[in-house]
Amino acid sequence: MNMVLIVFLLYLLGMVVAGIVTAKLASKSLDDFILGGKKMLTPVIALSEKGTDMSAWLLIGLPGQAFKMGIGAIWAGIGVWLGSLFNWLVIATPLRRLTGKYNALTIPDYFESRFSDSSHILRITASVLIVFFFTLYVSAQVVGAGKILGATFGIDRIVGMAIGLSIILFYTMMGGFIAESWTDFFQGIIMVVALVLMCIIGIAHFGGFANIFSRIGSIDAGAVMLSAGESGAALYLGLILGGLAIGLGYAGQPHILMRYMALRGEGEVKKAMLIAMVWTTVAVAGAIFLGFLAIPYLRGEIADPEHVTLAFAARILPGWLVGLVLAAATAAMMSTVDSQLLVTTSAITEDIYRKLINPKASQQRLVRLARIFTVIIALLAFVLGLRAERLVYWLVLYAWGGLAASFGPPLILSLKWRGTTKWGVFAGMLVGAITIVVWYNVPLLKSFLYELIPGFFFSLLATWLVSLWTKSGRTQITGDSVI
């Protein structure tokens, strides 16, 4: 058995053990299953937030973009960094305060409590949008697993998808938020270590920094330009806006937001932010530089840019380190899928079943149903993944944009503007989601601008205007807190 397989199997074994160890802790109540009882260590929550944020996009999509377009991929990295910083500075503290005040376990739960929505329209709308976009999101990650395992072991893509999803399903179903947070913590460490090692060794192969840009520039002049070779001002501006726009999406991602909700208290936000932002800086820079360094080695040799991480690892690393990179790439996918499955399951179990159908359901029944729905959503995502033809990079951006436009503007305004109303939030969610779906599926619009940009601003405008038109029932806000 080769070293690549040994290291990878040890990693998978660790994930299974995590599910078994945390199963009893997550079985006490739905609060434990969804948010870990808000008792998790701050460093664990911080790295869990980043692990679940970056997904297969970090080890597969982003290096693939840098390999294809060069250093111009940095605009996406800057967008990610700024978006993450915005969330920690603007969203984390008031969201933790208010969800604690309302004892809200989910974002739909928060919206309903925040606006005293007895009609449940906010809860139902938010839950439906979460299930829709997250099922697509999970599907994209499962496709990523198929690519990783298929490229490494020469197995069929579908078999790779099934293996990756089975492991995630086991530990998420057994251990809930506690299992996924601890696995995300270790997965986040593995991802950064793998990226840093590959970049250091890649630079050494070039003989140092001095030779890197000149050698890559001789292969592709556009690869060493921030414009990625785009000659027109409009195209260059589109490249910059498309990359930076990714950062707009952070405030609307329930799988990231739930990490702030799970902190022990508001006082933990600054400590968690420092850990998370250091990780983000190193990881994003490493992913872009990895794809950039691979250009002289693999241009013309691999058909799919999203195979570049493992192909480059196989070219420059010994077998056991290739196994670490494989584990890191799989970790990138797993650390997001587990959270997305949990958020989707929570929307069905907590926001629909418990709050609207059976309020008297026992905690044991709710945890059991949560596990059942986790399996159902995973299987649905797998079936959708079988039909996926788009690259992971674009599948992820579509789902990311859908969640961003649906939840970002309504959430920001609900935390920061005292004039926000229930109907404003409803309009923002609806307009944002519809804009994303329409824009993405109209080729002329899609080629013009990344759908997240119009989706976010149309949602923001709708939330603001409808709130102005429906002035009754406002909740007063002072500073960054609702009172």
Q: Which residue has the higher pLDDT, 389 or 37?
A: 37
Residue 473: pLDDT band with limits 50, 70, 90: very low
Instruction: State residue 129's pLDDT score.
Output: 93
Number of domains in the chain: 1
Length of the chain: 483
What tens digit of pLDDT does each residue of 213-226 get?
Answer: 778 878 887 777 77
Q: Which residue has the higher pLDDT, 265 or 21?
A: 265
Asked if the structure places residue 463 within a domain, the reply is no
Average pLDDT over residues 421-429: 96
Average pLDDT over residues 84-92: 94
Residue 483: pLDDT band with limits 50, 70, 90: very low
Average pLDDT over residues 16-43: 67
Asked if the structure places residue 204 within a domain, the reply is yes
Asked if the structure places residue 454 within a domain, the reply is no
What tens digit of pLDDT does each residue of 157-215 get?
Answer: 788 778 777 777 776 666 567 767 777 788 788 888 888 988 898 888 777 777 787 78
Q: What angle do CA 28, 33, 35 make, to 5 degrees?
A: 120
d(CA 108, CA 99) in angstroms, rounded, equals: 11
Asked if the structure places residue 328 within a domain, the reply is yes
Instruction: State residue 1's pLDDT score.
Output: 47
Asked if the structure places residue 421 within a domain, the reply is no
The answer, yes or no, to whether residue 480 has pLDDT greater than 60, is no
Instruction: State residue 412's pLDDT score.
Output: 96
DSSP 8-state code for residue 28:
S
**Percentage of the chain surpassing pLDDT 70?**
82
Residue 427: pLDDT band with limits 50, 70, 90: very high
Cβ burial of 329 (10 Å; 0-12, 13-18, 19+) is: buried
Q: Which residue has the higher pLDDT, 401 or 143?
A: 401
Average pLDDT over residues 336-356: 80
Instruction: State residue 23's pLDDT score.
Output: 60
Instruction: State residue 25's pLDDT score.
Output: 57
The answer, yes or no, to whether residue 481 has pLDDT greater than 50, is no
Q: Which residue has the higher pLDDT, 131 or 478?
A: 131
156 torsion bin: left (phi>0), alpha (psi -120 to 50), beta (else):
beta
Instruction: State residue 95's pLDDT score.
Output: 95
Asked if the structure places residue 435 within a domain, the reply is no
d(CA 335, CA 172) in angstroms, rounded, equals: 10
Helix (H) or strand (E) run with residue 462 in it:
helix 452-469
* Range in 186-190, 290-294, 346-350, 392-396 with the lowest mean pLDDT: 392-396
Annotate 208-240 with DSSP letters as a single string: SGGGHHHHHHHH-GGGGSTTTT--SHHHHHHHH
Strand partners, 52: none
Asked if the structure places residue 443 within a domain, the reply is no
Instruction: State residue 424's pLDDT score.
Output: 96
Instruction: State residue 213's pLDDT score.
Output: 78
Which CATH number do you get for residue 339?
1.20.1730.10
Average pLDDT over residues 358-362: 83
Average pLDDT over residues 119-123: 93
Residue 265: pLDDT band with limits 50, 70, 90: confident
Output the CA torsion sign for 113, 115, 121, 127.
negative
Residue 345: pLDDT band with limits 50, 70, 90: confident
Residue 7: pLDDT band with limits 50, 70, 90: confident
The answer, yes or no, to whether residue 475 has pLDDT greater than 60, is no
Give the range of the structural domain holding residue 249, as residue numbers without chain letter: 3-391
Residue 318: pLDDT band with limits 50, 70, 90: confident
Annotate 386-448 with DSSP letters as a single string: HT--S-HHHHHHHHHHHHHHHHHHHHHHHHH-TT--HHHHHHHHHHHHHHHHHHHH-HHHHHH
Cα dihedral value 92, 97, 101, 106, nearest 10: 10
Residue 393: pLDDT band with limits 50, 70, 90: low
Asked if the structure places residue 173 within a domain, the reply is yes
The answer, yes or no, to whether residue 429 has pLDDT greater than 60, is yes
**Percentage of the chain surpassing pLDDT 90?**
26
Please state, rounded to an integer, the average pLDDT across all residues of the chain.
81
